[in-house]
Structure 1
């Protein structure tokens, strides 16, 4: 199944995805028509992308459309982070594990092992597997974000870059949307070819 989406390090211009920029503008406007929203966004965001996301948000109940005026109104403000919704309005949980782990690492007063991190980052909606926590910690350590002693990890204060979680990408690199930059790439991965 093709999503027509680029990897995060290419899609997140200035550290923000198109959906994030659309959501921020919706929160700013509160009430809008689709043409006005499209005009208010940077020219790099295609109108079809905007239309699709607005339709998805409406199906999910974040915004409502007045059929008479053709104006959308923000009805459920979920905060600064853009809601992750599919075209049919259902919520997407992909990436929630990394978000939860990053939030846990940022707030943990003591170093954590991967089993502790998996337990503390799990919620009713998102269960973090210990193997996923181990992988996330290992990649963040390689990227220089964590110090490890006796299998316990702690976030280095200078690498507490912001609320968005550094993303471990399939192409074996870590992208930090807070910085808008790739912060680590597995150099040996390219040598194997």
Structure 2
């Protein structure tokens, strides 16, 4: 028999992890007087994040270095100099190469349309070199609806797609809400989750 676990998160406390958060910390730590940047150290990043390993942070900095956003400095402790300061990081592969974000494309479309079906999101969000599949659009729209971002304008039925609208109060900004998959270790002998919960983004 399978057991379904519900992960409860303290919503009153901001998540101190994820690429967007770590980049905001780097921008803050390296903003020096007269526009001169100070190097950021691995230790500084560890202290400003929650349950993020040194290896994960090193990997993130390698990604930024591959994109030409930071450069590693010689010597110890590990530290980096910021070369570019974009407000938001572009979608990148692990080696820093730019990549189209279908989640971003869908979120841009959802914010732009007054109302929509999942199929309309897939069509409007697709561009020549980055086509959004209908299944991906359906998954993302349903997850946003379940999370309270969307209002159902018309309920769906047999051969009738549901129509949604983004709630004005949930139009939180240009960055797309991300879908996370959480890895947990559950010990049935102790009836509890053991160790940290690791989350990774799911590609829609």
TM-score category of the 2 structures, normalised to the smaller one: 0.5 to 0.7
Point out where structure 2 has 5 or more consecutive residues left out of the alignment: 1-6, 31-36, 155-159, 183-204
- The farther-off stretch of 162-171 and 142-151 is 162-171
CA distance in 1 between partners of 2:164 and 2:66 (Å) = 41
Residue 147 (structure 1) shift: 1.9
Provide the residue aligned with 2:69 in structure 1.
Answer: 62
Residue 98 (structure 1) shift: 2.3
Larger RCO (alpha carbons 8 Å, 6+ apart): 1
Residue 128 (structure 1) shift: 0.9
CA distance in 2 between partners of 1:39 and 1:16 (Å) = 10
CA distance in 2 between partners of 1:39 and 1:135 (Å) = 34
Provide the residue aligned with 1:155 in structure 2.
Answer: 166
Residues 47-91 of structure 1: per-residue CA shift (max 9 Å, x gap): 3322221122112211123548986322233323475441x3334
Secondary structure of 1:31's counterpart equals coil
CA distance in 2 between partners of 1:73 and 1:59 (Å) = 13
Residue 125 (structure 1) shift: 5.0
Which of 102, 118, 132 lines up with 1:97 in the alignment? Answer: 102
Q: Which runs of 4+ in 1 moved over 6 A?
A: none
Residue 155 (structure 1) shift: 1.0
User: In the alignment, is the contact (CA less than 8 A) between 2:69 and 2:85 conserved in 1?
Assistant: yes
Provide the residue aligned with 1:20 in structure 2.
Answer: 20
Counting only pairs closer than 5 Å after superposition, residues 40-189 of structure 1 correspond to structure 2 as 41-42=48-49, 44-67=51-74, 72-81=80-89, 84-86=92-94, 88-91=95-98, 96-108=101-113, 110-124=114-128, 126-144=130-148, 145-149=150-154, 151=161, 152-168=163-179
Residue 27 and residue 147 in structure 1: after superposition, are their counterparts in 2 closer, same or farther (change >3 A)? same
User: In the alignment, is the contact (CA less than 8 A) between 1:60 and 1:85 conserved in 2?
Assistant: no
CA distance in 1 between partners of 2:46 and 2:142 (Å) = 43
CA distance in 1 between partners of 2:15 and 2:49 (Å) = 14
Q: TM (normalized to structure 2)?
A: 0.59
CA distance in 1 between partners of 2:108 and 2:179 (Å) = 15
Residue 74 and residue 131 in structure 1: after superposition, are their counterparts in 2 closer, same or farther (change >3 A)? same
Residue 101 and residue 68 in structure 1: after superposition, are their counterparts in 2 closer, same or farther (change >3 A)? same
Q: TM (normalized to structure 1)?
A: 0.61
CA distance in 1 between partners of 2:74 and 2:141 (Å) = 49
The structure that has the greater radius of gyration is 2
